[in-house]
Structure 1
Amino acid sequence: MNTTARADAQARDLAARFEETFGAAPDGVWAAPGRVNLIGEHTDYNEGFVLPFAIDKRARTALRLRGDSTIRLLSTFGDQGPVQADAADLVPGAVKGWAKYPLGVAWALQRHGLDVPGFDLLLDSDVPLGAGLSSSHAIECAVITALNELTGAGLSAEDMVRLTQHAENAFVGAPTGIMDQSASLRGAAGQAVFLDCRDQAVQLVPFEAQESGLVLLVIDTKVSHSHADGGYASRRASCELGADVLGVKALRDVTVADLDEARALLDPVTFRRVRHIVTENHRVLLTVDALRSQGPAHIGQFLDASHVSMRDDFEISCPELDLAVATARAAGAIGARMTGGGFGGSAIALTPARHEQQVRDAVVRAFADAGFTAPDIFTVTPAAGAGRIS
């Protein structure tokens, strides 16, 4: 079954389950993809550069507006039963589980001055949870795309990026930037999203690994992480401190040439955090240049250097991620790094297609030998962004 046929079947199935659950057909079915960040980690909230792409795994939401202010939410996964709330009485921090993401979107739209009625929603998703592939943002982007259309809000993609970020920051309590939403809302098949997080300017950059005889493997370590935890927040605080001491608006304004001076002004830990951001921004630009001029076979060195920087300077890796990266490289990958916010989640390995199976087998063996939970390993390709599918 091809991609379009599979999406159509998934939409029909979700619409039928919605009608069975809520007693009437949905107004439509919308989907938004998760994302893999090819390179550019923690640079987004420092007004820097990132290079993610939307992946071929998506959150799907069947939704119908109601004539009152009641919101009823149900998912096809997990053990959380139906969640009910009132659109006029949403409170940040009061909701747990996956329901906080669609409710956060409704709350953010209200704060933006839009009249959001009640609605019924059934959610399905094949974006792995807790794997660093932005399953939460996929939910938010599917929901805001649906509500934007059904309420006639007329929001641009840039508007929806900022509103979902506001939902994440103020309602969910996760101090994230705009990378994940931008990839999910603005992605395109066969393209990576080169995003300037200062002004939301986007350029699509070809990333057609298959045409170069490559695959991008995702290695889900099964080590769960949370963006709302103290580790993420403390890294962001270090970046803000570094920018303040260096007298710049954001670390985006610090160059590699400035690092010697920065070392003299900052404590050792803050300096390492700053050095990661500054060098990571530089690596994003080098990667974009290489993709445009030479193709994906020439970016492995930047992926490798990014992982070392995250492991040693930003200190957001973990033993499972380090093992996945080192093993994949030793088994034939041309470049590998952890991806996502860190402290768990997934690694990516850019691998010649002829070596894919040996990389998979080597990583599985290495995890078993180390006594780690068996990883989930799969390929991803750049896919279209959020939109209506039924």
Structure 2
Amino acid sequence: MTFTDIFDTDVVGRWAAPGRVNLIGEHTDYNDGFVLPLAIDRQTTVTVGRRSDRLLRVASSFEDGVQEASLDALDPAALAGWSAYVHGIAWALGEGARGVPASDLSGAFGLDVFVESDVPVGAGLSSSAALECSVAVAMNDLWELGLDGPALAKIGQRSENDAVGAPTGIMDQSASLLGRVDSAVFLDCRSLDAEVIDLGFAAAGLELLVIDTHVEHAHATGGYVARRASCERGAEALGVSSLRDLGVDDLPRAAEVLDDETFRRVRHVVTENQRVLDTVRTLRLEGPGAIGSLLDASHVSMRDDFEISVPELDLAVATAQATGAVGARMTGGGFGGAAIALVPTDLREAVSAAVVRAFADAGFTAPTLFVVHAAEGARRTA
């Protein structure tokens, strides 16, 4: 299935945006904290045609049918399904976001949008942000809105929060828009200051192995919402605007003020923020071979304090660690998805085989394993 199989408009361009792997810094973004993601060499591509009316029509290679909405009647409450990620971007552009004024879409023309992607859905690699950002850069270019990458990240976040209904932070969109080859994006989610950090994996003989457990998650429901609410309760009880305002030295007081569950949620965010800062410093001073203990500690914190891991993720991490990985952790929002392992290139096959055997022995669905490389962010490709 291609664009021309579905639409009769002329193609005006193609845009692509990558998925992302978060090297470290989980559930810190919506707490105004620090994250260290990298854009990956798996991407979503949108092929776009210009219409003479005000309709925004959407189709994809992975689902039959065409979803349409009018630019004059975009209602976030009425958007549903995967097409909400596309229609929601147009709505958010017209509404604006924190620090981003509303765009005047009165002169915008309708679009036909065809979506293709090789970012695994439900794996914690941010297939949703890849879709949002590919659409956002296309609309920004075609409608000549003049927004830069950080502004489009805010638009993507507002769309996902208010149109899709997932209370995510801004990390995924920032990584997809700002990524660079062989680098991670060190993002301060409060100021939105971003710095490109050299990873140096190849020079160190290391690769980043993704282990997709095929346990699917849904951020818009359940545990993600509950964890965010716990963080907000903890911040309020401790008298701060967000958990970003707390350091490791504040944890003894937090333990006295909070109930056990809320304290553990807070402890994860506070210590994870510190681990991001320590990882950036270690990459600069010692190189990627020295960050393993920080990755390992991050997984323990997510497993025990934030309680967002699942048995498949724990098995993937433990097996990779036991087979020679420098470090390993689950990545993404949790409750399924993928783990990452930083492995020496000459041990990649051994680690992969061990994980596959461990899953088979446990009776789990066979995982999918693949190496990702840090890649360029969202851009026009044709």
* TM-score tier (shorter): over 0.9
SS at match of 2:76: coil
Percentage of matched positions with identical amino acids: 57
Distance 1:81 1:19 in 2: 14
Contact 2:9 2:51 in 1 (8 A): no
User: Shift in Å at residue 208 of structure 1?
Assistant: 2.3
Q: Deviations over 1:285-318 (max 9, x none)?
A: 0000011111110000000000000000000000
1:300-319, aligned counterparts within 5 Å? 300-319=292-311
Question: Does 1:366 find its partner at 2:351?
Answer: no
| Structure 2 partner of 1:108 | 92
User: Which of 304, 323, 343 lines up with 1:331 in the alignment?
Assistant: 323
| Structure 2 partner of 1:252 | 244
1:269-288, aligned counterparts within 5 Å? 269-288=261-280
| Structure 2 partner of 1:83 | 67
Taking structure 2 as the reference length, what is the TM-score of the superposition?
A: 0.96
User: Which of 283, 295, 320 lines up with 1:291 in the alignment?
Assistant: 283
Question: Does 1:98 find its partner at 2:92?
Answer: no
User: Which of 8, 12, 29 lines up with 2:14 in the alignment?
Assistant: 29
User: Shift in Å at residue 113 of structure 1?
Assistant: 3.5
Instruction: Provide the alpha-carbon RMSD of the alignment.
Output: 1.1
Question: Given residue 104 of structure 2, which amino acid in structure 1 is its aligned partner?
Answer: L
User: Shift in Å at residue 20 of structure 1?
Assistant: 4.0
Question: Does 1:48 find its partner at 2:38?
Answer: no
Distance 1:23 1:210 in 2: 45
| Structure 2 partner of 1:376 | 368
Question: Does 1:61 find its partner at 2:46?
Answer: yes
User: Which of 197, 200, 219 lines up with 1:205 in the alignment?
Assistant: 197
Distance 2:208 2:305 in 1: 25
User: Shift in Å at residue 21 of structure 1?
Assistant: 2.7
User: Shift in Å at residue 118 of structure 1?
Assistant: 1.8
| Structure 2 partner of 1:219 | 211
Q: Deviations over 1:78-129 (max 9, x none)?
A: x342112222222224333221101110111121233043210000000001
User: Shift in Å at residue 32 of structure 1?
Assistant: 0.2
Taking structure 1 as the reference length, what is the TM-score of the superposition?
A: 0.94
Contact 1:93 1:173 in 2 (8 A): no
Distance 1:208 1:222 in 2: 29
1:94-243, aligned counterparts within 5 Å? 94-111=78-95, 112-115=102-105, 116-243=108-235
- Structure 1 residues without counterparts, runs of 5 or longer: 1-13
- Structure 2 residues without counterparts, runs of 5 or longer: 96-101
Q: Deviations over 1:232-258 (max 9, x none)?
A: 011001101111111111101100011
Distance 1:261 1:305 in 2: 22
| Structure 1 partner of 2:99 | none
Distance 1:81 1:309 in 2: 43
User: Shift in Å at residue 64 of structure 1?
Assistant: 2.0
Distance 2:75 2:162 in 1: 10
Deviant stretches of 4+, over 3 Å: none
- Range 49-58 or range 94-103, more displaced: 94-103
Contact 2:9 2:112 in 1 (8 A): no
Distance 1:230 1:88 in 2: 33
SS at match of 2:214: coil
Q: Deviations over 1:158-186 (max 9, x none)?
A: 11011110000000000000000000000
Contact 2:10 2:50 in 1 (8 A): no
SS at match of 1:146: helix
| Structure 2 partner of 1:7 | none
Distance 2:351 2:77 in 1: 42
Distance 1:386 1:208 in 2: 22
User: Shift in Å at residue 26 of structure 1?
Assistant: 1.2
Question: Given residue 86 of structure 1, which amino acid in structure 2 is its aligned partner?
Answer: S
Contact 1:18 1:24 in 2 (8 A): no
Question: Given residue 91 of structure 2, which amino acid in structure 1 is its aligned partner?
Answer: W
Contact 2:43 2:130 in 1 (8 A): yes
| Structure 2 partner of 1:38 | 23
Which has a greater percent of helix? 1
Q: Deviations over 1:348-387 (max 9, x none)?
A: 0000111111100000001111111100000001000000
Question: Given residue 329 of structure 1, which amino acid in structure 2 is its aligned partner?
Answer: Q
Contact 1:157 1:186 in 2 (8 A): yes
